[in-house]
Amino acid sequence: MAVDAFAVLAEPTRRRILDELRRSDSSVNELVEALTVSQPTMSKHLKVLREAGFVSCRTAAQQRIYRIETRPFEALDEWLKPYRELWTRHLDALERHLDNLEY
């Protein structure tokens, strides 16, 4: 089953988790403490992020350490590229228009 990256990222807690992992790899307990959510809630969100490929985990002693993965973000970035180009063209046209106005 294909996972919709936007559906995964629509959940605010998941975005907060990714923000934390952007800073550094973290254990479940570190994430629970940083985001003040319950351990079961954290595990649920990490599972969704892991299944969608946004995070991976490794075992270190008794802990699971999570890290952010770039591949899904690269795919989102590629999808957004034509929209960025569209806005750039519009902003360039607006700039030309404003430059041609007489004050």
Task: Reduce the DSSP state of residue 90 to 3 states and report it.
Answer: helix
- pLDDT (tens digit per residue) in 34-49: 999 999 999 999 999 9
Whether the predicted pLDDT of 86 surpasses 80: yes
How confident is residue 92, by pLDDT bands cut at 50, 70 and 90? confident
Measured CA to CA in angstroms, residue 97 lies from 20, 84, 85, 103 at distances of 42, 20, 18, 13
Cβ distance 92 to 79 under 8 Å?
no
The Cα–Cα gap between 65 and 30 comes to 9
Whether the predicted pLDDT of 15 surpasses 90: yes
Q: Determine the length of the chain.
A: 103
> Residue 28 has what pLDDT?
95
Q: pTM here?
A: 0.80
Which structure tokens are listed for 34? 């940083």
- pLDDT (tens digit per residue) in 46-81: 999 999 999 999 998 889 999 999 999 998 899 899
The Cα–Cα gap between 14 and 67 comes to 13
